[in-house]
Chains A and B, each alone.
Chain A
Amino acid sequence: SQQGEEDPQALSIQEGENATMNCSYKTSINNLQWYRQNSGRGLVHLILIRSNEREKHSGRLRVTLDTSKKSSSLLITASRAADTASYFCATDASNTGKLIFGQGTTLQVKP
């Protein structure tokens, strides 16, 4: 499977700052999803954005999608130490649940 690219690979910020992570992918998609993974744990679904949507909000999360550039961004506003985790984008090209994951961004939020 082709993996997406995410940048940065690692991000370290202070509590209260905003964190932006970017994801690029290679194929046409039906939707793109963002997941969070705490160290050594399972994945938690954060947000799903469909190919015909450009922006979506959920609490402190804001996701954008640019299908012409095959890219997406995840913005976490007013970060907290508890946001420390790895964040992955995943694309679903066929609406079957078969996800292709990006390489992930490791976010550290310092208190």
Chain B
Amino acid sequence: GAVVSQHPSWVICKSGTSVKIECRSLDFQATTMFWYRQFPKQSLMLMATSNEGSKATYEQGVEKDKFLINHASLTLSTLTVTSAHPEDSSFYICSAPSGGIYGYTFGSGTRLTVV
């Protein structure tokens, strides 16, 4: 089945630094990638939608200058958390439509801890 590979699976960074998270579709083309954030013991909240070859669409309340999204090719989308702060510590997860009855394929997630 469709696989979305997400890296890194976890990262610890210092306040003020930037972190890049990658999501790759391995055996299908993902023209669209959705980025979600999940705080501990909470549900997933959509942050933004990236489309190959065009600017990402951000949900209300999500700072586009802080969360930079680049959909460089049909198989790669990246999320960069710039000038990270402790409140950005969260579980970030991507998903891409995988078609048919299978819904959407999710990456394995990235646990970001900002210290």
Tell me the A residues contacting B by CB distance below 8 Å. 1, 3, 31, 33, 35, 40-45, 48, 88, 90, 96-104
Are the CB atoms of B32 and A97 closer together than 8 Å? yes
Chain B residue contacts of A98, Cβ below 8 A: 34, 46, 49
How many Å lie between the Cα of A75 and that of B77 in the bound state? 35
Apart from A42-B93, A101-B44, A102-B43, 17 more pairs, CB < 8 Å:
A1-B45, A31-B103, A35-B103, A40-B91, A42-B106, A45-B103, A45-B106, A48-B103, A88-B43, A88-B44, A97-B34, A97-B96, A97-B104, A99-B95, A100-B46, A101-B36, A103-B43
- The secondary-structure label for the interface of chain B is strand
Are the CB atoms of B107 and A101 closer together than 8 Å? no
A92 to chain B, nearest CB (A): 8
- The secondary-structure label for the interface of chain A is strand
Mask of B74-110 contacts with A, CB within 8 angstroms, 1/0: 0000000000000000010101110001111111110
Chain B residue contacts of A104, Cβ below 8 A: 43
Tell me which residues from 29 to 49 in chain B have a Cβ below 8 Å from any Cβ of chain A. 32, 34, 36, 42-46, 49
Chain B residue contacts of A1, Cβ below 8 A: 45-46, 59
Chain B residue contacts of A42, Cβ below 8 A: 6, 93, 106-109
Please name the residue on chain A nearest to B61 by beta carbon.
Answer: A1
Please name the residue on chain B nearest to A32 by beta carbon.
Answer: B103
Chain A residue contacts of B96, Cβ below 8 A: 97
B71 within 8 Å of A by Cβ? no
Chain B residue contacts of A99, Cβ below 8 A: 34, 44, 46, 95, 104
B24 within 8 Å of A by Cβ? no
Please name the residue on chain B nearest to A58 by beta carbon.
Answer: B101
Please name the residue on chain B nearest to A49 by beta carbon.
Answer: B101
22 chain-A/chain-B pairs, Cβ below 8 angstroms: A40-B109, A41-B108, A41-B109, A42-B93, A42-B108, A43-B44, A43-B93, A45-B102, A48-B101, A48-B103, A90-B44, A96-B97, A97-B96, A97-B97, A97-B104, A98-B46, A99-B46, A99-B95, A101-B36, A101-B43, A101-B45, A103-B43
